Amino acid sequence: AQKITQTQPGMFVQEKEAVTLDCTYDTSDPSYGLFWYKQPSSGEMIFLIYQGSYDQQNATEGRYSLNFQKARKSANLVISASQLGDSAMYFCAMRAYGGATNKLIFGTGTLLAVQP
């Protein structure tokens, strides 16, 4: 069975600092994708970044980067130069290749608060 674990229920970071949000995963599938979504207080789910299990390099999208350590089964999100607008819930999710199994499996999320 696939599982995503986010062990940090909440995090504080000072504006302009970098922050790392942890995510570990468990799957027996050799092919899988890892996603991070942001959920602001308004409730919508915003896609941030993707990392494939066979990708040779860590994914980056602007201020977001993914620290992918396959042997440790971790896919931590790094947000550089935090902004007040980064305050939100962050979810790590996984998608494993298994025929009809296209669903995303989510972790419990980390609530990030950026302080001025």
Partner 1 sequence: EPEVTQTPSHQVTQMGQEVILRCVPISNHLYFYWYRQILGQKVEFLVSFYNNEISEKSEIFDDQFSVERPDGSNFTLKIRSTKLEDSAMYFCATTSQGALLKETQYFGPGTRLLVL
Supply the minimum distance, in Å, between the C-beta of residue 16 and partner 1: 28
Q: Is 109 in the site for partner 1 (CB under 8 A)?
A: yes
Q: Could you tell me how many residues make up the chain?
A: 116
**How many residues belong to the site for partner 1 (CB under 8 A)?**
28
Site for partner 1 in 39-68 (CB under 8 A): 42-47, 50, 52-53
Instruction: Specify the residue, 14 or 101, whose C-beta has the smaller distance to partner 1.
Output: 101
Q: Is 103 in the site for partner 1 (CB under 8 A)?
A: yes
Structure tokens at 5: 């674990």
Supply the minimum distance, in Å, between the C-beta of residue 24 and partner 1: 15
Instruction: Specify the residue, 85 or 116, whose C-beta has the smaller distance to partner 1.
Output: 85
Task: Write a three-state SS string for the chain.
Answer: CCEEECCCCEEEEECCCCEEECCEEECCCCCEEEEEEEECCCCCCEEEEEEECCCCCCCEECCEEEEEECCCCEEEEEECCCCHHHCEEEEEEEEECCCCCCCCEECCCEEEEEEC
Q: Is 95 in the site for partner 1 (CB under 8 A)?
A: yes
Residue matched to tokens 């909440």: 10
Q: Is 28 in the site for partner 1 (CB under 8 A)?
A: no
Which residues of this chain interact with partner 1, rule CB under 8 A? 31-33, 35, 37, 42-47, 50, 52-53, 91, 93, 95, 97, 100-109
